Amino acid sequence: MAQIQDIEIRGVIIATAWDREGRVLTTSLAGVDEQEYHLLPGQLAPELLGLVQKEVVVKGRMLLMADGRKQLSVESLRLHVQAPNT
């Protein structure tokens, strides 16, 4: 049985599947916690496809599957901007 929890996590959007022409079809989040989160298709899917290789902060609901896979339903996201070194 899957467990559900609200989560906010920073990481990099990575491509996980492509079509025959090389266009990205699905994405995951490589989290700063060194875990991979499969991003479920939803309302923000087109925006996610445009953020491949970008660092973001994602808020959503994580499903922890019985086999250990982590799936994330994205509710909101923003680009992560690092503060300049002073």
In this structure, is residue 85 part of a structural domain?
Answer: no
Percentage of the chain modeled with pLDDT above 70: 97
- Into how many domains does the chain fold? 1
Write down the pTM of the prediction: 0.87
In this structure, is residue 61 part of a structural domain?
Answer: yes
Strand partners, 28: 14, 38
In this structure, is residue 15 part of a structural domain?
Answer: no
Tokens of 42: 């939803």
Q: Which whole number is the average pLDDT over 74-84?
A: 87
In this structure, is residue 70 part of a structural domain?
Answer: yes
In this structure, is residue 32 part of a structural domain?
Answer: yes
Structural domain range at position 37: 3-7+21-75
DSSP structure string for 8-76: EEEEEEEEEEE-TTS-EEEEEEEETTS-EEEEPPSTTHHHHHTTTT-EEEEEEEEEE-TTS-EEEEEEE
> 73: pLDDT confidence band, cut at 50, 70 and 90?
very high
> 16: pLDDT confidence band, cut at 50, 70 and 90?
very high
Burial 25-49 (b: 16+ CB within 10 A, else e): ebbbbebeeeeebebeeeebeeebb
